[in-house]
Chain A
């Protein structure tokens, strides 16, 4: 498990704390309501471009993970069912079913006539492990006694970290070997991985200020990144460098439970 980025969740807690303190002013209490929550959710990523064999392996990356979302919602008294908010999340676990063997077959399709004989391709799941990000959302919430139902639409972004690797390839029926080095630097470009999501949440109030809830939703994600490939003919000693702009798209389904605090 990689180091986790808690900056966004901490920022959300600080915002929540500051806004909760703000309710001390009687007029603010009258005008605004707040709902701070924390949860745990399972995220299942679906390979979006499975049907297109020309897409790169990352685009085909199926994965699953567990994320911790923490957020705060605001409601203004004149529109009692309308909520706006911000949510930060960080993955605490992630894995991919994409294997080394699948990656090698992908490379052999990209470089026809060459076969992978060794690889040192590390951290190609790092982008998943280090997922963190935030979402802004707007939603509708209605109460039915102690029960509540909320629906929301969100716009957000994920953060990725760069990854790199190295593969030794060999020409079939020949003694020639090649080295293929990959690297990406998402920070070189705008590291914007946009996500568009929707979610339904059902809550149950145990106390007037305490709610447990469950949610299910989905996200569509899209990110452009630059992949640098350094292809070296080890016998001739010549190298060619190629920069590819690729698009990573994903479809996520997420579901989870949480606990919320109302003020």
Chain B
């Protein structure tokens, strides 16, 4: 048993030293990331502060809160290292933290599909992404462009986009929006908003 423990510790030490010596630090200024998940919620912007909507919103003050999950590296799955094994990667390599992150699998398509007709020309199933805009305090950016702008980021993790509906539907009623984001490799992420009554 003692011999086994000694061997295990020795292997761990070798692993640490090898990773320390041969670890592959990305360029210090930039690093790749991947899109991993999106999630949506309804927003109510009728007051001074934008809030998560309950079940009814004034249609001219409706918005979608889009959360985009990004992960540093090439794969979405989180890696779990064994205790003591490769633990020195972060410390031993002394990799500098990147300040610019880029997607190697860029977004090729963004759609926001409505499940109910906006008006006679916009039936259920239409793409209404061009009616949603992101407001950054100074200017509006069309939703598709705002989502594509996440292809270069200053940090990875969760990114929140508040997409405001700037051309409200004529018809009041229950709505649901399906946000679809397609990547270059064909991966499609979708998220369906909770049902909301737009009055």
Residue ranges of A at the interface with B (Cβ–Cβ < 8 Å): 115, 117-118, 168, 170, 172-177, 179, 234-235
Contact of B166 among A115, A117, A170, A235 (CB under 8 A): A235
Measured CB to CB, the closest approach of chain A to B135, in angstroms, equals 6
Q: Report Cα–Cα, A179/B135, bound state, in Å.
A: 13
Flag if B135 contacts A177 (CB, 8 Å): yes
Q: Report Cα–Cα, A235/B60, bound state, in Å.
A: 13
8 A Cβ contacts from B138-161 to A: 138-140
Could you say which residues of chain A place their CB within 8 Å of the CB of B137? 118, 168
B32 close to chain A: CB less than 8 A: no
Of chain B, the residue at the smallest CB distance from A236 is B140
B46 close to chain A: CB less than 8 A: yes
Flag if A117 contacts B48 (CB, 8 Å): yes
Flag if B46 contacts A173 (CB, 8 Å): yes
Residue ranges of B at the interface with A (Cβ–Cβ < 8 Å): 45-46, 48, 58, 60-63, 133, 135, 137-140, 164-166
Contact of A175 among B48, B138, B139, B165 (CB under 8 A): B165
Q: Report Cα–Cα, A262/B97, bound state, in Å.
A: 75
Could you say which residues of chain A place their CB within 8 Å of the CB of B62? 175
Q: Report Cα–Cα, A118/B49, bound state, in Å.
A: 11
Flag if B135 contacts A173 (CB, 8 Å): no
Measured CB to CB, the closest approach of chain B to A116, in angstroms, equals 8
Q: Report Cα–Cα, A170/B140, bound state, in Å.
A: 13
Could you say which residues of chain B place their CB within 8 Å of the CB of A174? 45-46, 58, 60-61
Could you say which residues of chain B place their CB within 8 Å of the CB of A177? 135
Could you say which residues of chain B place their CB within 8 Å of the CB of A179? 138
Of chain B, the residue at the smallest CB distance from A172 is B46
Flag if B61 contacts A234 (CB, 8 Å): no
Measured CB to CB, the closest approach of chain A to B36, in angstroms, equals 29
Could you say which residues of chain B place their CB within 8 Å of the CB of A175? 45, 60-63, 133, 135, 164-166
Q: Report Cα–Cα, A65/B46, bound state, in Å.
A: 42
Of chain B, the residue at the smallest CB distance from A174 is B60
Q: Report Cα–Cα, A176/B60, bound state, in Å.
A: 9
Could you say which residues of chain A place their CB within 8 Å of the CB of B63? 175
Flag if A234 contacts B140 (CB, 8 Å): yes
Measured CB to CB, the closest approach of chain B to A51, in angstroms, equals 29
Q: Report Cα–Cα, A235/B137, bound state, in Å.
A: 11
Could you say which residues of chain A place their CB within 8 Å of the CB of B139? 234
Of chain B, the residue at the smallest CB distance from A168 is B137
Q: Report Cα–Cα, A170/B133, bound state, in Å.
A: 15
Q: Report Cα–Cα, A141/B45, bound state, in Å.
A: 68
Q: Report Cα–Cα, A177/B135, bound state, in Å.
A: 9
Q: Report Cα–Cα, A44/B91, bound state, in Å.
A: 65
Q: Report Cα–Cα, A175/B138, bound state, in Å.
A: 13
Could you say which residues of chain A place their CB within 8 Å of the CB of B165? 175
Could you say which residues of chain A place their CB within 8 Å of the CB of B164? 175
Of chain A, the residue at the smallest CB distance from B140 is A235
Could you say which residues of chain A place their CB within 8 Å of the CB of B135? 175, 177, 234
Flag if B138 contacts A234 (CB, 8 Å): yes
Measured CB to CB, the closest approach of chain A to B63, in angstroms, equals 7
Of chain A, the residue at the smallest CB distance from B135 is A177
9 A-B interface contacts by CB (under 8 A): A172-B46, A175-B61, A175-B62, A175-B164, A177-B135, A234-B135, A234-B138, A234-B139, A234-B140
Q: Report Cα–Cα, A40/B53, bound state, in Å.
A: 59
Flag if B58 contacts A173 (CB, 8 Å): yes
Could you say which residues of chain A place their CB within 8 Å of the CB of B61? 173-175
Could you say which residues of chain B place their CB within 8 Å of the CB of A168? 137
Measured CB to CB, the closest approach of chain A to B147, in angstroms, equals 17
Q: Report Cα–Cα, A117/B48, bound state, in Å.
A: 6
Measured CB to CB, the closest approach of chain A to B67, in angstroms, equals 19
Could you say which residues of chain A place their CB within 8 Å of the CB of B133? 175, 235
Could you say which residues of chain A place their CB within 8 Å of the CB of B46? 172-174
Could you say which residues of chain B place their CB within 8 Å of the CB of A235? 133, 140, 166
Q: Which of A115, A170, A174, A177 has the most CB of B within 10 A?
A: A174
